[in-house]
Amino acid sequence: MGAITRALANNITTGGVILPSGINNTSISNVTSLPSGVGGKVLQVVQDTKLDTFSHTSATLTDITGLAVTITPSSTSSKIMIQASVVVSGGQADKNYLLAVTRGDTEIYKADQAGTNRQRAGGGIHYMHGATQLQGTYSTNIMYLDSPSSTSAITYKIKAQSNDGATMWINRTGDGTDDPNRASFPSSITVMEIAG
């Protein structure tokens, strides 16, 4: 590339500001990657939103319909940022209502086990004693950066897990009352491919 002469600089700038005529679309489109060693560029974004309700009454992890996204990374060095906001409530007090983050059907994000009986999860709630808490909904926010090292299609999911036969609800209150003092809310999962 030749040197930029004073005459050329005067043609493409005014007072140090590049003029629209000085920007060449062809040269911009020829930039296909970041310089070596520079990562963090968002390459693609996929989202799924859940507007209806969902219930689950089992300790078995179960897919929450409407909270699953499939993305195909463009490089094995890419990372996948997972962000989810899930509205949770339950039908009984003093129970766990848990969420799992999975790649396919494999859990990839959950707490460490400090003890032999405590349940581990990627999100969720626990109601303490008192039926009045069943009138509320609780938003669980999840953020996790995954390194799948793959260029195959990957499905990320949010799964539900209840315990002791208690019913877990997504997007509505646990008591199920339909009145002006209750509300329904949406949930979503978003994944972004980040250049490695």
What CATH number is attached to the domain comprising 153? 2.60.120.1340
Residues 54-94: tens digit of each pLDDT: 999 998 999 999 999 999 999 999 999 999 999 998 877 77
Residue 2, domain member (yes or no): no
| Percent of the chain at pLDDT exceeding 70 | 72
Over the stretch 147-196, which tens digit does the pLDDT of each residue have?
999 999 999 999 999 987 888 899 988 777 777 777 788 999 999 999 98
Among 131, 126, 142, CA closest to 175: 131
The token pair that represents 44 in the structure block: 């693609």
Q: How many domains does the chain have?
A: 1
Tell me the pLDDT band of 25, cut-offs 50, 70 and 90. low
Residue 12 lies in a domain: no
Q: Is residue 20 part of a domain?
A: no
Read off the amino acid at residue 102: T
Structure token pair of residue 148 = 């799948």
Express each pLDDT in 121-150 by its tens digit. 878 777 665 555 566 788 899 999 999 999
- Amino acid identity of residue 33, one-letter, is S
User: Left if phi > 0, otherwise alpha if psi is -120 to 50, otherwise beta: which for 68?
Assistant: beta
Mean pLDDT of the chain: 81
In a domain, 29, yes or no: no
Residue 147 belongs to some domain of the structure: yes
Range of the domain at 157: 34-194
Q: Is residue 16 part of a domain?
A: no
Q: What is the pLDDT of residue 153?
A: 98
In a domain, 22, yes or no: no
Q: Is residue 60 part of a domain?
A: yes
